[in-house]
Chains A and B, each alone.
Chain A
Amino acid sequence: GAVVSQHPSWVICKSGTSVKIECRSLDFQATTMFWYRQFPKQSLMLMATSNEGSKATYEQGVEKDKFLINHASLTLSTLTVTSAHPEDSSFYICSARGGGPQFFGPGTRLTVL
């Protein structure tokens, strides 16, 4: 089946620093990648959709200057949380789609101290 990886699986950082999370589709080309955020015991909340080579489309209420998304190739998308604060602590999950259903990565647990 389709495999999506994320790196790192967890990260702890100090308030004010920036953190980059990578999402890769390992065995297929992802024309579209998605970034979600999930709070404990809640469903997934879509943050943004990105197509290879073009700017990401952000959902309402998601600050594009804070959550920078780059989808430079058909197998790689990155999410950078800039100037992270404790309220940005969350579980971030990416997914990738290559024409079929979305396949999800294993998630990245971000903790901002």
Chain B
Amino acid sequence: GQQLNQSPQSMFIQEGEDVSMNCTSSSIFNTWLWYKQDPGEGPVLLIALYKAGELTSNGRLTAQFGITRKDSFLNISASIPSDVGIYFCAGQLGGNKLVFGAGTILRVKS
């Protein structure tokens, strides 16, 4: 079945640093989504990407839909303590189902 490889698995960074994480797949997707999940909460949508090559920003977050449609990255600039959480990428091909990455745990040292 389809699988997403998300990396890194975890990051422990200094407040103010930039963060980069990515997802790759052996299959193509028509949509890439990035979610953030806080402990005990449901995932919150950060950015949705619908077109190969698309680069979209949401405040300090920037994500890109890879030109091959098999990868996506998420960058967070100037990290702050509230950026702490688990970030998930998700790919969607046509139908309704999402395929999720394993998540990137982000910890920020203030």
At the interface, yes or no: B66 with Cβ under 8 Å from chain A?
no
Complex CA distance for A91 and B86, rounded to whole angstroms: 15
Question: Which of B97, B101, B102 has a CB less than 8 Å from the CB of A46?
Answer: B97
How many residue-residue contacts, CB under 8 A, span A and B? 44
Given A93-B42, A102-B98, A104-B35: 18 more A-B contacts, CB < 8 Å: A4-B42, A42-B102, A43-B100, A43-B101, A46-B97, A46-B98, A95-B42, A97-B96, A100-B48, A101-B31, A101-B48, A102-B33, A103-B45, A104-B44, A106-B41, A106-B42, A107-B42, A109-B40
Closest to A102 in B: B98
Complex CA distance for A100 and B31, rounded to whole angstroms: 10
Chain A interface residue count, CB cutoff 8 Å, equals 23
At the interface, yes or no: A34 with Cβ under 8 Å from chain B?
yes
Interface residues of A (CB under 8 A from B): 1, 4, 6, 32, 34, 42-44, 46, 49, 91, 93, 95, 97, 100-107, 109
Closest to B88 in A: A43
Complex interface bits, B74-110 against A, C-beta within 8 A gives 1, otherwise 0: 0000000000000010000000111011110000000
A32-B96, A97-B96, A101-B31 are contacts. A107–B41 as well, Cβ < 8 Å?
A: yes
Question: Which of A46, A101, A107 has a CB less than 8 Å from the CB of B45?
Answer: A101
A44 CB contacts on chain B under 8 angstroms? 43, 88, 100
Majority SS at the chain A contact face: strand
A103 CB contacts on chain B under 8 angstroms? 45
B88 CB contacts on chain A under 8 angstroms? 43-44
Complex CA distance for A103 and B48, rounded to whole angstroms: 11
What are the nearest 4 A-B pairs in CB distance? A104-B42, A107-B42, A101-B48, A43-B100
In the complex, what's the smallest C-beta–C-beta distance from B29 to chain A, in angstroms? 13
In the complex, what's the smallest C-beta–C-beta distance from B31 to chain A, in angstroms? 7
